[in-house]
Structure 1
Amino acid sequence: MTITRRTLLTSATAAGLLPLLPRRIWAGSTLALGPMQIDTLSDGHLVLPGDFILGGMPQAEMQDILSRYALPTDRLEPPCNVTLLRDGTHTVLFDVGAGPDFMPTAGKLAEALDVFGLTTEEVTHVAFTHGHPDHLWGLLDEFDEPVFPNATYMMGQAEFEYWTDPATVDSIGAERTAFALGAARRLAVLADSITLFNDGEEILPGIAARLTPGHTPGHMAFELRGGSEAVMVVGDALGNHHVAFEQPGWPSGSDQDAETAAATRGRLLDQIAAAQMRLIGYHLPGGGIGHAERQAGGYRFVEEQA
């Protein structure tokens, strides 16, 4: 497996028409894995209060970690990396971004696809890691039709059942009520056509589902394998490049089940580091592609370099 290029892609540059407008830039890492070409596409970024991720952690130690990454603790702006896989037969997206209704800084996937020269009609499959807004709400267009009209949509069975259960809106907590309502509305459009799968299933050739619960009840990662080499698309099972790696056992406010999510992080990092496997994280920097290195007491995220 090789990194074949690292590119900076701008929609303004591609169009050549709007030089005076602010330019959106994508840091795109492309790697080859057997017959697969894997790219990351930016859906923009989130703007979150620090407590949404950092709440409940040991504050002094947490602040020390964040300071070493030159990050504030009151406001975080994690990137959103949608993974694109092409193998000559299938064109697969892992998640669809936030769409226009979540945050103004996100929902930019259509621009990124345009920069990559892809149309929505060319996407053959969409595999969801989970049902949170920044991963799912880009599903529908302004007419409530699927944005990718020719795609087969796939989601873990437990995750689909959780978000389509009418009881979820009452049990998820007031701060996430909109998450539940938004997911249920969007997934209802796919109710009769979505393909459901379970842990360990090969959903497409070379793509296996890996249950990674805690962030949401049925969160899935995906192991992409070409020959003896593999890449793990981790979604939000590893939700940031700082505390999630250095202190995977700490609870995070972004996880719906903090204890389960912490246990999942520990197992996942141990597996990835032991196998020297590359990973792609939805909210990790530099396009999200890198690997995990062990260090005293935890791990560190190492961005992939061209």
Structure 2
Amino acid sequence: MTINRRTLLGALTAAPAAVLVSGQALAQDTAQATTQATAPVTGLPPVLHQFSIGEARVTVLLDGHLPLGTQLFANFDAEKANAALARGLHQMTPAGLQIPVQAYLVELGDKKILIDAGTADLMGPNLGAMGAGLAAMGVNPSEISTVLLTHMHPDHAGGLVAADGTAVFANAELVVSQVEWEFWHDDAIMASVPENSRGFFQMARMTVAPYQNRLRLIAGEASVLSGFTALPLPGHTPGHTGYMLDSGGQQLLFWGDIIHSTALQFAFPDWTIAFDTDPELTAATRHKMLDRAATDGLLLTGSHIDFPGLGRVLRQTEGYAYQPAPWQFGL
């Protein structure tokens, strides 16, 4: 699957509905999109990375990868992009830049907490490995006590639901921003977008529907679990949320989709992408978080930062740079 301008024609006619989905789903109506979303998951090998933060053990679960076409970047400048790419090892392919999709398992005390849930098979054969990662660890989905969602795009929420429409994590409480929930469940907003984009809303609703009796909606900056604080990071979606883990005197920020392209958006923070609901707010939030991360020396991770996506932000004369953390031995 290649994400490019052609596959996004339907989405781009309705900015609030623009989410990471395949061109096939864009062309389908709601019923067809729902059928696609609940199809069997293809098998992919598990890819994991583990490290500790205080008393917590964090496992990065690589769900897979997808190409991000350069046509999707606002303000894209080929000369600047080529100069940035020349400073590193990222390769531009005809399909675009490859970016990862990641979810996280945090084991803290007797709790197993999942941050985002991957795609299942919503987005093609190169994604959907999050479940295989849990299985490789010997973790049964029934052991997950809480799922913290950064937002309700299908590469973050798709793995919540099984092919038969039931909850994958049968005993988990689902935690999501109230703003995010209300946006995707607003019939008036859904009715205002083109008909072939309404499947986005149906997919968002379908993935969270089995959790409505175990749902906790959160607002603002607030403690959501022992050791976890929710941070509103709006722009990419209205209720896009990060989570700060505090454990044993150490901190780790899970900042969701603040960055999609490690290669380009640290250097050029104003380069938003077509999937950002509010590009201006997205850029403002990104600048705020990059400045905070660089000033405070925050250890952070993000769903699309180069796997395993653990590092910190360095301030440059122009823009920022990403410094990956070294491998943590002796876990």
TM-score norm. by structure 2 comes to 0.80
- Amino acid in the other structure paired with 2:80: E
Q: Unaligned stretches of 5+ in structure 1?
A: 1-21
Q: Deviations over 1:180-228 (max 9, x none)?
A: 2210222333334311111211110110000001110110000111244
Aligned equivalent of 1:4: none
Q: Give CA deviations for 1:17-63 in whole Å, capped at 9, x if unaligned.
A: xxxxx9836251x22222211110111112343323x2442343234
The answer on 1:65 being equivalent to 2:84 is yes
Mean Cα deviation higher: 132-141 or 71-80: 71-80
Confirm whether residue 254 of structure 1 aligns to residue 275 of structure 2.
yes
Partners of 1:173 and 1:89 lie apart in 2 by 46
Partner of 2:233: 212
Q: Which residue of 2 aligns with 1:33?
A: 53
2:31 match: none
Report if the CA contact (8 A) 1:78-1:240 is conserved. yes
Preserved CA contact (<8 Å) 1:164 1:187 = no
Q: Which residue of 1 aligns with 2:144?
A: 123
Does 1:286 pair with 2:307? yes
Q: Distance in 1 between matches of 2:234 and 2:71?
A: 21
Q: Provide the alpha-carbon RMSD of the alignment.
A: 2.1
Instruction: Please name the residue that 1:86 is paired with.
Output: 107
Q: How many residues align?
A: 283
Structure 2 counterpart of 1:134, one-letter code: D
More strand by share: 1
Cα pair 2:261 2:305 within 8 Å, conserved: yes
2:214 aligned counterpart, secondary structure: coil
Distance 2:322 2:193 in 1: 31
TM normalised by structure 1 equals 0.86
Find the partner of 1:241 among 249, 262, 271: 262
Structure having greater relative contact order (Cα 8 Å, sep ≥ 6)? 2
Does the 8 Å CA contact 2:45/2:129 hold for their aligned counterparts?
no
Q: CA deviation at 1:247?
A: 1.3
For structure 2, which runs of at least 5 residues remain unmatched after alignment?
Answer: 1-42
- The separation in 1 between residues aligned to 2:274 and 2:121, in whole angstroms, is 24
Q: Among residues 160, 171, 180, which one is paired with 1:159 in the alignment? A: 180
> How far apart are the structure 1 equivalents of 2:44 and 2:214?
38
Q: How big is each residue's C-alpha offset from its partner over 1:257-295, in whole Å with a ceiling of 9 and x where there is no partner?
A: 111000000000111111111101101113111111111
Report the Cα offset of residue 148 of structure 1: 0.6
Determine the structure 1 residue equivalent to 2:4. Answer: none
The Cα shift of 1:106 comes to 0.8
Whether the 8 Å contact between 1:56 and 1:252 is mirrored in structure 2 is no
Match of 2:164 in 1: 143
Question: 1:44 matched to which residue of 2?
Answer: 64
Name the structure 2 match of 1:16. Answer: none
Equivalent pair of 2:48/2:133 in contact (CA under 8 Å):
no
Q: Percent identity?
A: 29
2:196 & 2:69 partners in 1: Cα distance?
A: 13
Which amino acid counterpart does residue 70 of structure 2 have in structure 1? G
**Contact 1:57/1:252 (CA < 8 Å) preserved in 2?**
no
Equivalent AA in structure 1 for residue 76 of structure 2: M
**1:267 is matched with which residue: 288, 292, 295?**
288
